[in-house]
Amino acid sequence: MNPNHKVVVEDLGLIDYKEAWDYQEILFKKVVSVKLANRELPEGQQEFTGNYLIFCEHPNVFTLGKSGDEKNILLNEEQRRQRHIAYYKINRGGDITYHGPGQLVMYPIFNLDYFFTDIHKYLRFLEEAVILTLADYGLKGERLEGLTGVWLDAGHPGKARKICAMGVRTSRWVTMHGIALNVNTNLDYFSLIIPCGISDKAVTSIEHELGNKVDMEEVKTRLKKYLSQVFELDI
């Protein structure tokens, strides 16, 4: 096992989005600062920067990525307040998405210099871990050409539906933000936005596809296992 593939895993439970974002920033800046300090050190004396993996759920919130369009939010500020839905413009890629209870959110803060410096490969690896997790529940997760995330019936234009959204940020080859897998998510909230700016495709969840609620801890364990396999992590 590569010693630089060691990962500290934290489960923050149900946590306010901004609080989790602030915590990500702390870890992100910590990794970056060690990387910068290592540049001044000779080979063999450099400090391990650390890698982190955060699991959590959020209270109802809409988040808009850097390339997003606020027109994809179908509620005004007053309507959001009445429904107790928070809203943040954030520094990840992608457009508008929803987070809420029953959705498994995962934030890897990885130093990609320890793995590979290829953001497209990184995204495909995240997708692969989700696809393997879904297969354990008899669901065939797929990629949709030109779009990130994991889909069901990707090859059928009228049936394609998104089950896992992705949006990441990288700087100095350190990652943050990540994935949102709909497990037991209340899908009604997605009707209040145009998810990821895509108006012609539906959103689904494991619960919706199977017809029954799924144990969140079990999904978390499976996703962690497959992430470890794909990235060869030492958790």
CB count in 10 Å sphere of residue 37: 12
Q: Residue ranges of the chain with pLDDT lower than 70? A: 196-200
- pLDDT confidence of residue 71: 87
Asked if 139 and 154 touch (Cβ cutoff 8 Å), the reply is no
Among all residues, which ones are annotated catalytic? 196
What is the domain extent for residue 152? Answer: 3-231
Report how many domains make up the chain. Answer: 1
- pLDDT confidence of residue 48: 96
- pLDDT confidence of residue 50: 97
Specify the CATH number for the domain of residue 170: 3.30.930.10
- pLDDT confidence of residue 199: 65
What is the largest distance, in Å, between two alpha-carbon atoms of the chain?
Answer: 57
Q: Write the burial class of residue 162 (CB in 10 Å: 0-12 exposed, 13-18 middle, 19+ buried).
A: buried
